[in-house]
Amino acid sequence: MDSDQIHRYQTTMISTYSHDTNLLEYLVMSSGTKRSYGSSFLADIRSGKLLTVNSRRRNGLILFKEYHAEFAGPGAAVGGDYDRDCQGVLPIGNLSLLKMESHEERQKAYLIRRQWIRLIGQITQNSSPTQRVHKILDQFEQYFPSDVVADLPDEAFALLIGVLPQTACMVRHLGSDVDSKLNR
């Protein structure tokens, strides 16, 4: 009998995920409109150019990789060999990418990119998916106006912090009530 239960659970956990599916085709803004994903920025990043996100503006870039996303905020390096595997980008704010001239500028930009990665990494260490969504939303709302954050797709947040898009959507729409509604 136990083997029947195990077999039943194994068959119900079959995934419908297809590696050929391009997630970026399905990202839709909260307003219901599809958004262009910065093809000119993506071309620059994939070309191997090393650029930096302008540190004098409230702007940033979500870089979509095969199985996750990374955020590069003001001052962070993007492009070069590090981002050649980038499949899509989502500019946030009035994005401005600058060329770096000196070795010192490049080092500083790499350090800043690493700091942004560490910040997101700290958020993902929280074992509660709903708390991760709350924290990433709080962080983004510290850097960007709330209307800009509200317009970002749930899938982008989900890929940044390792939760399901449905979880991000639920937390964004139910707010702090989501934990109490889930535990009923």
What is the predicted pLDDT for the residue at 32? 46
Domain presence at residue 157: yes
Domain presence at residue 29: no
Q: How confident is the model at residue 50 (pLDDT cuts 50, 70, 90)?
A: very high
Residue 144: which domain range? 34-178
Domain presence at residue 95: yes
Average of per-residue pLDDT across 90-110: 95
pLDDT above 50: residue 29: no
Domain presence at residue 24: no
Domain presence at residue 99: yes
Q: Minimum mean pLDDT among 46-50, 61-65, 88-92, 121-125: which range? A: 46-50
Domain presence at residue 102: yes
pLDDT above 80: residue 63: yes
What is the predicted pLDDT for the residue at 26? 43
The domain total for the chain is 1
Could you read off the pLDDT of 15-28 as tens digits, one per residue?
333 333 445 544 44
Average pLDDT, the chain: 82
Q: Minimum mean pLDDT among 24-33, 105-114, 166-175: which range? A: 24-33
What is the predicted pLDDT for the residue at 55? 96
What is the predicted pLDDT for the residue at 175? 82
3-state SS string over the chain? CHHHHHHHHHHHCCCCCCCCCCHHHHCECCCCCECCCCHHHHHHHHCCCEEEECCCCCEEEEEECCCCEEEECCCCEEEHHHHCCCCEEEEEECCCEEECCCHHHHHHHHHHHHHHHHHHHHHHCCCCHHHHHHHHHHHHHHHCCHHHHHCCCHHHHHHHHCCCHHHHHHHHHHHHHHHHHHCC
Average of per-residue pLDDT across 33-51: 74
pLDDT above 80: residue 38: no
What is the predicted pLDDT for the residue at 160? 97
pLDDT above 90: residue 106: yes
> pTM of the predicted model, to two decimals?
0.77
Domain presence at residue 43: yes
Query: Hey, which of 16-20, 41-45, 137-141 has the most confident mean pLDDT?
Result: 137-141
Domain presence at residue 26: no
